Chains A and B, each alone.
Chain A
Amino acid sequence: MAYVSIADRDHEIEHHDDPQTFVAKYVWSQDHKVIAIQYGGLAILIGLFGMVLSSMFRLQLGFPDTFDFINPENYYQFVTLHGMIMVVYLLTALFLGGFGNYLIPLQVGSRDMVFPFMNMLSVWVYALSVVILMASFFVPGGATGAGWTLYPPQAISPGTPGVDLGIVLMLVSLAVFIVAFTMGGLNYVTTVLQARCRGMTLMRMPLSVWGIFMATILGLLAFPALLVSAIMMLLDKLIGTSFFMPAMMAAGEVTEYGGGSPVLFQHLFWFFGHPEVYIVALPAFGIVSDLLSVHARKNIFGYRMMVWAILAIGGLSFIVWAHHMYVSGMNPYFGFFFATTTLIIAVPTALKVYNWVLTLWQGNIHLRVPMLFAIGFIFTFTHGGLTGLFLGNVTIDLPLSDTYFVVAHFHMVMGVSPVLVVFGAIYHWYPKMTGRMYNETLGKWHFWLTFLGTYSLYLPMHYIGFLGVPRRYFAMGNTDFMPDSAITLNTSMTISALIIAATQLIFLYNIIVSLKKGEKAGGNPWKATSLEWLTPDTPPKHGNWGHDLPVVHRWAYDYAVPGAPDDYTPQTVPADEVPVGRDHGVDH
């Protein structure tokens, strides 16, 4: 029997009974949209916790010697857990588990992910990893304070906070997270490759799907490095092997370890860690392309180049990792190689930035909240990308390494930028997910306070980094090279951080109250072309498309096509009814 693709199968074969009970509908749900909201909700909750952690250590930095409840030990725990939570448990889970789950089946015209049961397992295993992570705060010794990079030998040597159980739970939680991610990730990739509707070629997919798709592939190939290094560090810690541990003294005593390689861990960690940057960035790239195009009423500029840039960035991201290790001790030729690849990756990335800006050029720009966040992203991302050019060069990196310049750089490029896209995306798809509109005024307040707040937080941070203020210090004390202005700036940065943190309450208030009080949105409030806006019900029901799957005839960016009756032409409109706006490519 020849294999029949989903789009060509008889509907009756594919029909499953809709779940009826509350538990089947909202708890053990296999519907990708419910799973997406579970993933996203949990990720946002844990992200808020990560934000509170950052406020705590910012208090210490801004007002040293003021707060008794922050001692050096839990300062390190806060910094460590803030980093790990934001990168892995918030952004990775939210972009891939949350938006990936929600958008992939809807935007490629599928009824669900290919293996819904595994998808459900994914979210609950993710929840388990979060529980294990949180548990580490309550064990003797507390959570690990090794820094989010968890470098051995220090991570598992006496003197580091959480050296007993904290680090063990951290590593176990990461391993469990990777299992959860793998189950979800296999689903996302297979769904994109194998479960598209009729007419949905890969080169007609919205860029959101492309970004999430490539990021998931990166995740499936990069997380193994983290998994293996977590296993090896657990063995080092628990049964005394020496994979990463050299012969050394710790707390005045000779340890049992010997012959291991700490630099091996750094290589493995960054072989995961650098692609991880793009696991977070590529979905943001994709989503922001869609937001800009929809709200500028213009097709995305250079769609094909955007797709190839995503693929190129994905490929290159695997051969740049050692630029995180210029000061770790490396053959200078390696430094040369990794600096070169690092600067090459700026080419496709810059290409994307140009294309975003050119999409806005002469567009009919609607400055609605999602658009504000998308434009804000272009600013912060360009900013963070430019400082990346400094740090990618070995000679410039050496004096800047381990200063606040690095902290400012990666917060701009992979903290603030993706988070702005997250907010933009939540506002953009909120009407589809809930059927109601958010409050526009509150949304604008949220944007401006967050956007300007991050600048007032991170611009001074570049400056104190240039002064040479080292990161990860609990208190600066009286050091000669640090002028008073640096101390003052720290105080102002803390105040900015607290304002940004408080601003997120506006966001929470807005999305929660609008669930009940928001205006009815209708199926397609933005007059957008991609498939998720064309579902028969809003919010879409189980199975997404009612009786028949959609049939696609054009790419997702037919805005303001000359000769078309509306300024947008949905992907399902045949080419002989309305001309296709694309200048080259599939449709002539």
Chain B
Amino acid sequence: MSEAAVTSSGDVLPDGTKGFVEDFSADKQAFQVPWGKAMMWIFLLSDTFIFSIFLVSYMKVRMSTTDPWPNPSIVFGLEVGGVSVPLLLIAIMTFILITSSGTMALAVNMGYRKDKKKTFWLMVATAALGASFVGMQAFEWTKLISEGVRPWGNPFGAAQFGSSFFMITGFHGMHVSAGVIYLLVVANRVRTGFYERRGNNYEIVEVAGLYWHFVDLVWVFIFALFYLW
């Protein structure tokens, strides 16, 4: 530090490691970001714990059950033209969700460029991709239910397979659905000029984007730990 740091009330702060702490804990605010963004980060940290605990619990019951665990690549396989393709639907769903992260990132960029129209349409595209993900998840649930998979038991092996599957994908699907609604609400406000009137400030698009990327990231973990393992 070449110059001594000063608080906005005009007091001199110390140097060295103490100065490092003081710098981080400087007055007014710890992070140079809007409140909504800071709060979303903290919320996502809390939500990370929720999903981690879901996944850890799934691993634990997978260990504790005495029945054999069903093979996910067979259970989640699709018949295409008489050939069973393992994990086909899940692969498509994952691809779609990750694509939606891309459109979301573009929407955030367009928001900062104050391009109202492009921001709106990119957010709608993101929401549409999210909705199609939920739709395919509904298809997957229907297929499994028709094959006799229930939360309390299934014909393929351990009952905990169905329990964990419906609970974790259901909880994640709720997050995606809530995200779709959230995105549409924000997109609509972008369209009607709500943010334009409030100082032309589109930071909320980024906050919504944080949530959306988080939901996608969680899916990657669910995909790896539930479907691939």
The answer to whether B151 touches A239 (Cβ under 8 A) is: yes
Interchain nearest-CB distance for A531 vs B (Å): 13
The answer to whether B50 touches A224 (Cβ under 8 A) is: yes
The answer to whether B61 touches A261 (Cβ under 8 A) is: yes
Chain A binder among B40-48, B71-79, B184-192, B209-217:
B40-48
With an 8 A cutoff between CB atoms, is B65 at the interface?
yes
In the bound assembly, the distance between CA atoms of A365 and B39 in angstroms comes to: 41
Q: 1/0 contact trace for A535-555 toward B, CB 8 Å?
A: 000000000000000011110
Task: Indicate whether A190 sits within 8 Å of B42 (C-beta atoms), given known contacts A202-B25, A259-B66, A268-B53.
Answer: yes
Instruction: Kindly list chain A residues whose C-beta atoms are within 8 Å of the C-beta of B45.
Output: 220-221
Q: 1/0 contact trace for A480-492 toward B, CB 8 Å?
A: 0000000000000
Q: 1/0 contact trace for B9-39 toward A, CB 8 Å?
A: 1111110001001101111111111110011
Interchain nearest-CB distance for B214 vs A (Å): 14
Closest Cβ neighbor of A551 among chain B residues: B9
The answer to whether A194 touches B29 (Cβ under 8 A) is: yes
Chain A binder among B81-89, B130-138, B156-164, B219-227:
B156-164
With an 8 A cutoff between CB atoms, is B197 at the interface?
no
Chain B binder among A131-139, A356-364, A452-460, A580-588:
A580-588
With an 8 A cutoff between CB atoms, is B115 at the interface?
no
In the bound assembly, the distance between CA atoms of A133 and B60 in angstroms comes to: 30
- Docked complex: B132-154 residues within 8 A CB-CB of A: 151-152
With an 8 A cutoff between CB atoms, is A232 at the interface?
yes
In the bound assembly, the distance between CA atoms of A225 and B60 in angstroms comes to: 14
Closest Cβ neighbor of A572 among chain B residues: B9
The answer to whether A260 touches B64 (Cβ under 8 A) is: yes
In the bound assembly, the distance between CA atoms of A369 and B50 in angstroms comes to: 42
The answer to whether B151 touches A201 (Cβ under 8 A) is: no
Instruction: Kindly list chain A residues whose C-beta atoms are within 8 Å of the C-beta of B66.
Output: 258-259
Q: How many residues of A contact B (CB 8 A)?
A: 60
The answer to whether A201 touches B159 (Cβ under 8 A) is: no
Instruction: Kindly list chain A residues whose C-beta atoms are within 8 Å of the C-beta of B12.
Output: 588
With an 8 A cutoff between CB atoms, is A253 at the interface?
no
Closest Cβ neighbor of A228 among chain B residues: B53
With an 8 A cutoff between CB atoms, is B121 at the interface?
no
Residue from B13, B18, B34, B163 having most chain A Cβ neighbours under 10 A = B163
The answer to whether A194 touches B159 (Cβ under 8 A) is: no
In the bound assembly, the distance between CA atoms of A99 and B84 in angstroms comes to: 61
The answer to whether A235 touches B167 (Cβ under 8 A) is: yes
The answer to whether A199 touches B11 (Cβ under 8 A) is: yes
Instruction: Kindly list chain B residues whose C-beta atoms are within 8 Å of the C-beta of A199.
Output: 7-11, 27
With an 8 A cutoff between CB atoms, is A189 at the interface?
yes
The answer to whether B32 touches A3 (Cβ under 8 A) is: yes
With an 8 A cutoff between CB atoms, is A195 at the interface?
yes
The answer to whether B14 touches A198 (Cβ under 8 A) is: no
The answer to whether B39 touches A190 (Cβ under 8 A) is: yes
Chain B binder among A5-13, A41-49, A341-349, A415-423:
A5-13
Residue from A1, A260, A268 having most chain B Cβ neighbours under 10 A = A260
The answer to whether B167 touches A231 (Cβ under 8 A) is: yes
The answer to whether B38 touches A190 (Cβ under 8 A) is: yes
| B8 partner, pick from A7, A239, A260, beta carbons under 8 A | A7
The answer to whether A186 touches B160 (Cβ under 8 A) is: no
Interchain nearest-CB distance for A206 vs B (Å): 14
Q: How many residues of B contact A (CB 8 A)?
A: 55
In the bound assembly, the distance between CA atoms of A199 and B7 in angstroms comes to: 6
- Docked complex: B178-214 residues within 8 A CB-CB of A: 199-201, 203
The answer to whether B42 touches A186 (Cβ under 8 A) is: yes
In the bound assembly, the distance between CA atoms of A189 and B41 in angstroms comes to: 11
Interchain nearest-CB distance for A112 vs B (Å): 12
The answer to whether A268 touches B57 (Cβ under 8 A) is: yes
Closest Cβ neighbor of A239 among chain B residues: B151
In the bound assembly, the distance between CA atoms of A232 and B58 in angstroms comes to: 11
Residue from A193, A201, A235, A585 having most chain B Cβ neighbours under 10 A = A201
The answer to whether A575 touches B11 (Cβ under 8 A) is: yes
Task: Indicate whether A242 sits within 8 Å of B28 (C-beta atoms), given known contacts A114-B35, A259-B67.
Answer: no
With an 8 A cutoff between CB atoms, is A159 at the interface?
no
With an 8 A cutoff between CB atoms, is A200 at the interface?
yes
Instruction: Kindly list chain A residues whose C-beta atoms are within 8 Å of the C-beta of B61.
Output: 242-243, 259-261, 264
The answer to whether B201 touches A1 (Cβ under 8 A) is: yes
Instruction: Kindly list chain A residues whose C-beta atoms are within 8 Å of the C-beta of B160.
Output: 241-243, 259-260
Instruction: Kindly list chain B residues whose C-beta atoms are within 8 Å of the C-beta of A246.
Output: 64
The answer to whether B43 touches A585 (Cβ under 8 A) is: no
Task: Indicate whether A587 sits within 8 Å of B199 (C-beta atoms), given known contacts A6-B28, A195-B29, A260-B64.
Answer: no
| B29 partner, pick from A182, A193, A232, A242, beta carbons under 8 A | A193
In the bound assembly, the distance between CA atoms of A271 and B50 in angstroms comes to: 12
The answer to whether B27 touches A196 (Cβ under 8 A) is: yes
With an 8 A cutoff between CB atoms, is A197 at the interface?
yes
The answer to whether B60 touches A194 (Cβ under 8 A) is: no
With an 8 A cutoff between CB atoms, is A256 at the interface?
yes
In the bound assembly, the distance between CA atoms of A196 and B8 in angstroms comes to: 11
In the bound assembly, the distance between CA atoms of A154 and B49 in angstroms comes to: 27
| A182 partner, pick from B25, B33, B46, B63, beta carbons under 8 A | B46
With an 8 A cutoff between CB atoms, is A353 at the interface?
no
Instruction: Kindly list chain B residues whose C-beta atoms are within 8 Å of the C-beta of A268.
Output: 53, 57
Closest Cβ neighbor of A193 among chain B residues: B30
In the bound assembly, the distance between CA atoms of A246 and B171 in angstroms comes to: 24
In the bound assembly, the distance between CA atoms of A231 and B168 in angstroms comes to: 11
With an 8 A cutoff between CB atoms, is A227 at the interface?
yes
Task: Indicate whether A198 sits within 8 Å of B163 (C-beta atoms), given known contacts A224-B46, A235-B151, A260-B61.
Answer: no
With an 8 A cutoff between CB atoms, is A240 at the interface?
yes
Q: 1/0 contact trace for A143-174 toward B, CB 8 Å?
A: 00000000000000000000000000000000
Instruction: Kindly list chain A residues whose C-beta atoms are within 8 Å of the C-beta of B46.
Output: 182, 186, 220-221, 223-224
Residue from A199, A256, A271 having most chain B Cβ neighbours under 10 A = A199
The answer to whether A186 touches B43 (Cβ under 8 A) is: yes
With an 8 A cutoff between CB atoms, is A379 at the interface?
no
Instruction: Kindly list chain A residues whose C-beta atoms are within 8 Å of the C-beta of B200.
Output: 1
Instruction: Kindly list chain B residues whose C-beta atoms are within 8 Å of the C-beta of A260.
Output: 61, 64-65, 160
Instruction: Kindly list chain B residues whose C-beta atoms are within 8 Å of the C-beta of A200.
Output: 27-28
Closest Cβ neighbor of B12 among chain A residues: A588
| A203 partner, pick from B10, B21, B171, beta carbons under 8 A | B21
- Docked complex: A202-252 residues within 8 A CB-CB of B: 202-204, 220-221, 223-225, 227-229, 231-232, 235, 239-243, 246
Beyond A114-B39, A186-B39, 5 additional contacts (C-beta under 8 Å) are A186-B42, A203-B21, A225-B53, A228-B53, A243-B160
> Which 6 A-B residue pairings sit nearest by Cβ, starting from the closest?
A199-B9, A202-B25, A259-B65, A241-B163, A261-B64, A224-B49
**A-B CB contact pairs (8 Å), 21 listed:** A1-B200, A1-B201, A8-B8, A115-B39, A186-B42, A189-B42, A194-B38, A197-B27, A198-B7, A199-B7, A200-B27, A201-B22, A203-B25, A221-B46, A235-B167, A239-B151, A241-B163, A241-B167, A260-B160, A271-B53, A585-B14
